[in-house]
């Protein structure tokens, strides 16, 4: 099985050399051919130059340079589009994930699973700012999506190529890869992996990430349940509001006709009219959602990132310029 390892990096000049050396050591021990795709997410600290030097010494390394910092999700999406392996590995570039777990995950993938995602059971991070928010978020996400998972934030994953090709990551959706894959019918399993303390630099994420995760959860929940037909949800809610509003208006008329109650002072009249207006808005949102869904399935393939250059000889340069990433030749066997 050919293996592609994707590592996004942003200002990791201190850890990049060690991380690449550890991954290359693992690649040397794999039974089949492998490649390492390093995505420089607009680094400004010398990471880009260091990665180019490493790629010049090992033909299995490919470096993708972004024009600016587009975020981890965009970096992973770019790596997924370029990767040519039958098995694709995702790994963090800060050195906290242990590359020696990769063979174990690949063995589990060979058992018939489509995606194996890591579980940092013994997570080596600060409890208050990292572990506690993560546990709360994982519990909430698991309940909302009905997908059993302990550690959705672990970047270390192994998946089959056909699953990776179906993923379309935008915003910060890389955290929800197992859920999105499961939604597409992939057979997923969680596996304990090693986690190490961060040796260099500071984490790029803080408590503000929790808010973004919760907002992304709303998007994922909508995609899981109503993405293909938004009118079912918005139309159903609009129908409920219009029935309730119409009932209140009818009660107001009956109160006026039977008991002489002044309609201008009757709160049911205002509430009923307000609910009818809400129903019109919900129906309109549902129609717009249906139109956007049709546009989504017919869009022209634009991507949420821009590549400045690609260092490595594995891919067709002309296709890179055209924005289509197709391997020029099979991944080379490890030396």
- Write the pLDDT tens digit of every residue in 31-86: 889 999 999 999 998 999 999 999 998 889 999 999 999 888 889 999 998 998 99
116 touches 159 (CB < 8 A): yes
Beta bridge partners of 35: 4
> Sorting pLDDT into bands at 50, 70 and 90, what band is 218?
confident
Average pLDDT over residues 223-246: 80
Q: Which two tokens stand for residue 279?
A: 């129903």
Q: pLDDT category, 316, cuts 50, 70, 90? A: very low
Q: In what order do the strands lie in the sheet with 34-40?
A: 188-192, 115-119, 157-160, 87-90, 3-9, 34-40, 61-66, 307-311
Residue with tokens 């020696």: 100
* Contact present, 233 and 226 (Cβ < 8 Å): yes
What CATH code would you report for 3-227+301-322?
3.90.550.10
In tens, the pLDDT along 119-158 reads 888 887 676 666 777 788 778 888 888 888 888 878 899 9
Bridge partner residues of 118 (DSSP): 191
pLDDT value of residue 89: 96
Q: Which residue has the higher pLDDT, 27 or 123?
A: 27
Task: Mention every residue, 6+ apart, whose C-beta is less than 8 A from residue 113.
Answer: 187, 188, 189
Q: What is the pLDDT of residues 250-300, one digit of tens each?
A: 888 888 787 777 767 678 888 888 888 888 888 888 777 766 765 665 565
The CA distance from 11 to 125, in Å, is: 20
User: What per-residue confidence (pLDDT) applies to 291?
Assistant: 65
Position 296 scores a pLDDT of 64
Q: Does 114 have pLDDT greater than 80?
A: yes
Looking at per-residue pLDDT, the higher value among 332 and 14 belongs to 14
Higher local confidence (pLDDT), 163 or 208: 163
Judge whether 175 and 147 are in contact, CB under 8 Å: no
- First vs last Cα of the chain: how many Å apart? 16
Strand partners, 29: none
- Which residues, listed in sequence order, are joined to residue 191 by a DSSP beta bridge? 118
Question: Could you give the CA distance from residue 83 to residue 4 in angstroms, rounded to a whole number?
Answer: 6
- Checking if the pLDDT of 7 tops 70, the result is yes
Q: Is residue 245 pLDDT above 80, yes or no?
A: yes
User: For residues 191 and 86, is the Cβ–Cβ distance under 8 A?
Assistant: no
Q: What is the pLDDT of residue 313?
A: 58
Mean pLDDT in the chain? 81
65, 70, 74, 78 alpha-carbon torsion, rounded to 10°: -20
> What count of other Cβ atoms lies within 10 Å of the Cβ of residue 64?
27
Phi, psi of 204 (to 5 degrees): -85, 0
pLDDT of residue 43: 93
């Amino acid at each position: 099985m050919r293996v592609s390892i994707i590592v996004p990096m942003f200002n990791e000049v201190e850890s990049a050399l060690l991380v690449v050396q550890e991954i290359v050591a693992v690649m040397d021990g794999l039974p089949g051919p492998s490649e390492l795709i390093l995505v420089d997410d607009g680094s400004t600290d010398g990471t880009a130059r260091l990665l180019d030097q490493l790629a010049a010494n090992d033909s299995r390394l490919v470096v993708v340079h972004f024009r600016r910092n587009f975020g981890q999700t965009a970096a992973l999406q770019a790596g997924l589009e370029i990767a040519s392996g039958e098995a694709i590995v995702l790994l963090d570039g800060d050195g906290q994930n242990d590359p020696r777990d990769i063979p174990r995950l690949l063995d589990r993938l060979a058992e018939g699973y489509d995606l194996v995602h890591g579980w940092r059971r013994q997570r080596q991070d600060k409890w208050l700012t990292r572990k506690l928010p993560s546990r709360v978020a994982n519990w909430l996400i698991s309940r909302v999506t009905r997908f059993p998972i302990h550690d959705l934030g672990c970047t270390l994953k192994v998946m089959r190529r056909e699953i990776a090709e179906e993923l379309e990551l935008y915003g910060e959706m890389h955290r929800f890869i197992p859920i999105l894959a499961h939604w597409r019918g992939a057979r997923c399993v969680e596996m304990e992996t090693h986690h190490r303390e961060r040796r260099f630099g500071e984490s790029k994420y803080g408590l503000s990430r929790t808010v973004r995760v919760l907002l992304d959860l709303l998007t994922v929940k909508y995609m899981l349940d109503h993405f293909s037909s938004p009118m079912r949800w918005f139309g159903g809610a609009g129908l409920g509001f219009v029935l309730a509003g119409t009932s209140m208006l009818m009660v107001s008329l009956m109160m006026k006709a039977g008991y002489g109650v002044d309609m201008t002072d009757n709160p049911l009249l205002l509430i009923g009219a307000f609910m009818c207006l809400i129903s019109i808005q919900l129906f309109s949102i549902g129609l717009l959602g249906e139109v956007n869904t049709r546009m989504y399935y017919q869009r022209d393939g634009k991507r949420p990132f821009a590549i400045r250059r690609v260092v490595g000889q594995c891919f067709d340069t002309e296709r890179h310029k055209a924005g289509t990433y197709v391997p020029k030749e099979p991944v080379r066997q490890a030396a």
